Structure 1
Amino acid sequence: MKDYLRKHPQVRTIRVAAADLNGQARGKRIPSRYAEKAVKDGTRFPFSVLSLDIWGEDIDDSPMVFEQGDQDGVLKPTERGFMPMPWLEAPTALLPIWMFRENGAPYEGDPRHALNAVVKRYKARGLTPVVAMELEFFLIDDSGKTLQVPPSPRSGKRRKAAETLSIRALDAFDTFFTDLYDACEAMDIPADTSTSETGLGQFEVNLMHCDDALRAADDAWLFKMLVKGLARRHGFAASFMAKPYAEYSGSGLHTHFSVLDAAGDNIFDSGGPKGTAALKQAVAGCLAAMHDSTLVFAPHENSYERLVPGRHAPTAICWGYENRTAAIRIPAGSPSARRIEHRVAGGDVNPYLMLATILGAALVGMEDEMEPPPPVTGNAYAMDLPQIPSSWEAAIDAFENSDMLYRFLPKELIRNFVLTKRQEMHYISDLTPEERIELYLDTV
């Protein structure tokens, strides 16, 4: 880590940052001459910081604040080390960190530790999850009273329509996407294919599959930070909020995963299109946890505007082969690449918490040898099936009262997340629709 700053003497300041439960980067700015201390000794800030609400406020009834004296945690660098922050004007380095207790134990309210604990359970069984993510986002001109597509830097025109898989839409923002891919290269984020999507000014970038789930979540978290920051340098906004436009589809964050055994073989590969018993058990686990864990996949008030029938986001708790109306899709293709696609999450999620939940539920399904219901064929929106909670309040209640989630998420994290979401729900009721959009546009 010290070598990075020696090789980049132009870097005058660093940021140390951890992801809170909402996926917000919380941390400090430090002059680079004091960076060695942050690497060696860590940095400190209160445990309560990782469960602030979406405004960055303390949780009123959290026991961590006044009841426990708002004690500090110790934050240490992750394995990622320093990386550039290409969206800033001055040369700056980012050092991702995560939180520990004074005695060196992981802090269970840290979402990155929650994912790490799930991955360790896979490793104990000789298994390795392989993960890839598809992140959708909107490019938005938010300079006026209403949101609209930014004018193309090339033509100066606005295309006020969805342009699904349009090369023209991608080329209209070629300078932005060229800078984005260059920045991903500099930050070692494995950005692959980009496409234009069905929303107004909506795009998707796929991140390549990775056999390190922590790194995959890091990549998604860093990518979201990069896209939002870089868009501002280009004179417009980028947002991963679930649904900025009522009349268009929202943004999802689809997760593909398979599992390798100790020999490096895909345990979902049956040699044919249907997959193995392990695949079906993992599907069953994901379905069994889906109702109670919806809050993870749809963490904000705006999230539930995306989860409506017929808008390319799942609403029924079901699975199917090559069926995008189902919450769980088994894509076609080579049997050696047989995998599960989890389609519920919006773009506004915390990637660490989302991945801990998906992989944790799948592991419980395999441990308990669960059996899924029959796969659906046809339009899942038109079928009489169990439904994902349709309101934020119902999702919070289901998350709080779940028995299954305690099998793979820490008790302290569950408590903190519920307290955070209940406070947000209380205060957001005072906001106008315009104020709610403004809140989520830049934060999530």
Structure 2
Amino acid sequence: MMTKNWLRKNPQVRTIRVAAADLNGQARGKRVPARFADKVVADGTRFPMSVLNLDIWGEDIDDSPLIFDTGDADGVLKPTERGFVPMPWLEAPTALLPIWMFRDNGQPYDGDPRHALRNVLDRYRTHGLTPVVATELEFFLIDDSGKKLQVPLSPRSGKRRKAAETLSIRALDAFDTFFTDLYDACEAMDIPADTAISETGLGQFEINLMHSDEALRAADDTWLFKMLVKGLARRHGFAASFMAKPYAEYSGNGLHTHFSLLDSNGANVFDNGGPEGTAMLHHAVGGCLAAMHDSTLIFAPHANSYDRLVPGMHAPTGIAWAYENRTAAVRIPSGSPKARRIEHRVAGGDVNPYLMLAAILGAALIGIEDAIEPPKPITGNAYALDLPQIPDSWDEAIADFETSDMVARIFPPELIRNYVLTKKQERHYMAELSPEEQVEVYLDTV
């Protein structure tokens, strides 16, 4: 088996982590000596199903039926097809084995976010369609050693640049040692990191991951990349954060998704040879817009998420689509018709990538299945138009997600229930914290 061979070829690895993503995208699992890894590879491991349904602090959900009602029963965690990946942010040579949860009878556990995406992809296969997905991740490098967050000292100059430096080569060069290590680590982990740019925020950067016709792998890449960036930044003496809005006065972190669809012959079904795209593209857009309001809780899962979704701050607030217009929630980029695709711009950097891709691709598929016609594409500034709005509060997003017919067509009932219970508990306890205390919670976690 490939996973066993990887350890044989990497005898320097003495310990492994086995970890699955919970509903918040947090890695939950165990540390195992490498000499016992063969047993984990062959038989999997076990931990309670409730572990994938913890709140952002890692606490049990108070009224979860997964705990006392079922005796806090175990699930079986099996390796994903990814196999072992190194963890270059740790000092000791260590490998991560991604796992996902099944029931004792072999059925996938519906509360596992990776299975939620797999369910959506299985539905695409019944239509003879394959999504091709790429993600763009924004994050801040932050010195959080004092009472106030600030951009770290440049390792090159020893100075702080207290200004946004959009597409600045100087800003990238200031942290060249970090980015060099990051790209080397991505290569070691087989994460397809492409272009890096400096963004509009204070110490903010964006890295694009290359497109993949394996959407589960694209989600894995995104999940692993977030883990890597945060861990590697700490090794360099500062923090990296994907939280939606660490600085009130600057734009927040987005996580934009580009996707197209291939038919059984490998042809892009969004390509009609021109800039407008096919009827199937329009229907996919229609589905994304129709589900957007009710699925906002996936794209903005935390209290801090709603600080990002404000007009005029480079995050969409109106539900609309457009050609080559970054003020719209859904954008159709220009370029070669062969690469015609949809860009979904709502999600913050603080999302769970598995749930995010499931929500986007699931909505697009509903649009295709129901032949949903979108409204006319907008032109000009979306913030200045009278448009249906994305929820601007956590309360509204939780309520609409819980009762939505569209959401129920994308996610299984158990996942919806667990996710809503998680968010209600987090909302309750976050209300007791000051904004500064909330930042402390989110800075390293999301």
Cα deviation 1:345-375 (Å, max 9, x = unaligned): 0000000000000000000000001100000
Deviation at 1:158, TM superposition (A): 0.2
Q: Which amino acid aligns with 2:293?
A: H
Cα deviation 1:330-358 (Å, max 9, x = unaligned): 00000000000000000000000000000
Q: Which amino acid aligns with 1:141?
A: D
Q: Give the match for residue 376 of structure 2.
A: 374
Cα RMSD (Å) of the superposition? 0.4
Alignment of 1:306-317 (within 5 A): 306-317=308-319
Q: Give the match for residue 251 of structure 1.
A: 253
Alignment of 1:35-434 (within 5 A): 35-434=37-436
Q: Which amino acid aligns with 1:288?
A: A
Deviation at 1:432, TM superposition (A): 1.2
Structure 2: distance between partners of 1:229 and 1:188: 17
Q: Give the match for residue 20 of structure 1.
A: 22
Deviation at 1:175, TM superposition (A): 0.1
Deviation at 1:157, TM superposition (A): 0.3
Cα deviation 1:103-123 (Å, max 9, x = unaligned): 000000000000001011111
Deviation at 1:433, TM superposition (A): 1.1
TM-score (norm 2): 0.99
Deviation at 1:408, TM superposition (A): 1.5
Structure 2: distance between partners of 1:304 and 1:132: 24
Deviation at 1:267, TM superposition (A): 0.2
Cα deviation 1:191-236 (Å, max 9, x = unaligned): 0000000000000000000000000000000000000000000000
Structure 1: distance between partners of 2:122 and 2:396: 31
SS of equivalent to 1:87: coil
Q: Which amino acid aligns with 2:152?
A: P
Structure 2: distance between partners of 1:405 and 1:21: 16
Q: Which amino acid aligns with 2:212?
A: C
Deviation at 1:148, TM superposition (A): 0.1
SS of equivalent to 1:209: coil
Structure 1: distance between partners of 2:11 and 2:269: 47
Deviation at 1:315, TM superposition (A): 0.1
TM-score (norm 1): 1.00
Structure 2: distance between partners of 1:360 and 1:137: 26
Aligned positions, number: 444
SS of equivalent to 2:294: coil
SS of equivalent to 1:256: strand
Structure 2: distance between partners of 1:332 and 1:128: 22
Structure 2: distance between partners of 1:278 and 1:51: 36
Structure 2: distance between partners of 1:430 and 1:301: 12
Structure 2: distance between partners of 1:252 and 1:145: 25
Q: Which amino acid aligns with 1:157?
A: K
Structure 1: distance between partners of 2:4 and 2:334: 46
Deviation at 1:10, TM superposition (A): 1.1
SS of equivalent to 2:218: helix
Cα deviation 1:77-98 (Å, max 9, x = unaligned): 0000011000000000100000
Cα deviation 1:156-212 (Å, max 9, x = unaligned): 000000000000000000000000000000000000000000000000000000000
Q: Which amino acid aligns with 1:324?
A: R
Q: Which amino acid aligns with 1:20?
A: D
4+ residue segments displaced more than 3 Å: none
Identity across the alignment (%):
80
Structure 1: distance between partners of 2:56 and 2:364: 29
Q: Which amino acid aligns with 2:435?
A: P
* Structure 1: gaps (5+ residues): none
Cα deviation 1:297-356 (Å, max 9, x = unaligned): 000000000000000000000000001010000000000000000000000000000000
Structure 2: distance between partners of 1:165 and 1:247: 19
Structure 2: distance between partners of 1:433 and 1:389: 20
